[in-house]
Amino acid sequence: MSQHQHRIVVLGAGYTGAVAAGRLARRLHREDVAITLVNPESDFVERVRMHQLAAGQDLPPRPFREMFAGTGVELVQGRVTAVHADRKAVTVTAGGTAGPAELPYDTLVYALGSSWDNGGVPGVAEHAHDVSGRAGALRLRARLAALPAGRPVVVVGGGLTGLEAATEIAEARPDLDVALAVRGGLGDWLSEKGRGHLRTVAGRLGITVHEHAAVTEVAADRITTADGAVIPADATVWTTGFAVHPIAAATGLELSEDGRIAVDDTMRSLSHPDVYAVGDAAMAVGPGDKPLRMSCASGVPMAWQAADAIAARLAGVKVPRTPIRYFQQCISLGRKEGLIQFVTADDQAVDRALTGRVAALYKELICKGATWGVANPTAGLPTRRRRITRLEARPATAAGAAV
């Protein structure tokens, strides 16, 4: 690293972090910047496919070193344990005996995302499974594989993750007794056509749906709902929502009420202008002044916006601002069925919906497209890179070399 290179550190290599790093590499001259991507795993995790992994399907490995070969992006494999926003450094702990090391930065992109949220419900942390990451999905996979025919499995949560998990498990293991517990009505945010198709598929797969069933306790062999109903469960899958990575609360950055990092329309921190936040970690506002939901559909365009804004500000040119909006919600219902619910710009369902096999293929193309965008982070962008006009001289440092 040159003394005069602008140091950009990207924390997290999910969809948003990986896309941001690759786009920055395409936007800026390599001799002007040193882009470091920090992630605990060496290969990319397709989070939108974790329900498939849990149901027994194998996903191909996607090593970052191959994905970012020739881009100039340096991968540091380690876990972020602290962000020191006031002195512009992050602490990273790698495996082995090297111990923690600090990485200084000039610009930080925070993309540590989210994990499952147990909602404080008794027994969830001890007894429930999640599909929010690879480790959780693999634990559930092992549990399902160990269950004999006829045993009960309950998925708690009627959002996109819950619907995909329940249908995937029921399709892969038709010998299990799969149930879905939802707080409201099944698919009550969908259009009439979407709700109808969802009920048809659930019935076809033999899924028992418990509606208006708020779960108040999880045990090793059952769940209990607010009205006192007890539902047997040899495996409980908890999918009621996501929580921001806890490091955000200790960064010193301005946060929103739900713990996400408060940002402007270019994904720049409201309190620290050298920090950008993208994906589930950021509280960004979309159409209708509504917060963007935690999703890949929000995170990827947030990463584009942040990378373009960083490059423009470093180059001293006008910052592009592209409003983020929604077009559809894509739901896989096993490998053979799908539901594409078209929505307004602010994510409200309209009457139009695509269902059946065509919808399943549509969703598969969306998933493959998202992964292709990560695996080819610099494709499709102009080859002209901007030169940085605001380089700062600084003493050379070897900080972070041990991670």
| Per-residue pLDDT at 365 | 94
Both structure tokens of 1: 């690293």
The stretches in the chain having pLDDT less than 70 are 1-3, 95-98, 377-386, 390-403
The torsion defined by the Cα of 169, 170, 176 and 181, in degrees rounded to 10, comes to 90
**Domain-located, residue 311:** yes
241: left (phi over 0), alpha (psi -120 to 50) or beta: left
| Per-residue pLDDT at 3 | 60
Residue 147 vs residues 141, 142, 144, 222, 308: alpha-carbon distances, Å: 10, 9, 5, 15, 49
- Looking at the structure of the chain, the number of domains it has is 2
Residues 110 and 249 in one domain: yes
| 344 close to 350: Cβ distance less than 8 angstroms | yes
**Domain-located, residue 162:** yes
| Per-residue pLDDT at 89 | 96
**Domain-located, residue 357:** no
Residues 110 and 251 in one domain: yes
Residues 212 and 251 in one domain: no
Last residue of a domain, which of 192, 218, 237?
237
Residues 110 and 208 in one domain: no
Residues 228 and 125 in one domain: yes
**Domain-located, residue 233:** yes
| Per-residue pLDDT at 94 | 84
Task: Give the DSSP letter string of 82-109.
Answer: EEETTTTEEEEE-STT--EEEEE-SEEE
Residues 11 and 153 in one domain: no
CB atoms within 10 A of CB 267: 30
Last residue of a domain, which of 205, 237, 269?
237
Strands (E), 251-336: 261-262, 275-277, 282-283, 328-332
Residue 387 vs residues 72, 128, 312: alpha-carbon distances, Å: 15, 51, 10
CA distance 218 to 119: 12
Residues 200 and 103 in one domain: no
CB atoms within 10 A of CB 228: 7
Last residue of a domain, which of 221, 237, 253?
237
Task: Give the closest residue to 104 by CA, choosing from 26, 39, 36, 22.
Answer: 36
CB atoms within 10 A of CB 154: 26
| 128 close to 121: Cβ distance less than 8 angstroms | no
| 225 close to 385: Cβ distance less than 8 angstroms | no
Residue 325 vs residues 264, 300, 332: alpha-carbon distances, Å: 15, 12, 21
pTM of structure: 0.91
Residue 196: CB partners within 8 Å, gap ≥ 6? none
**Domain-located, residue 396:** no
Residues 233 and 125 in one domain: yes
Residues 58 and 127 in one domain: no
| Per-residue pLDDT at 1 | 54
Question: Residue 111 maps to which CATH number?
Answer: 3.50.50.60
Which residue range(s) make up the domain with 258?
Answer: 6-115+242-325+368-375
Helix/strand/coil percentages in the chain, nearest 5: 30, 25, 45
Residues 155 and 258 in one domain: no
CA distance 4 to 1: 8
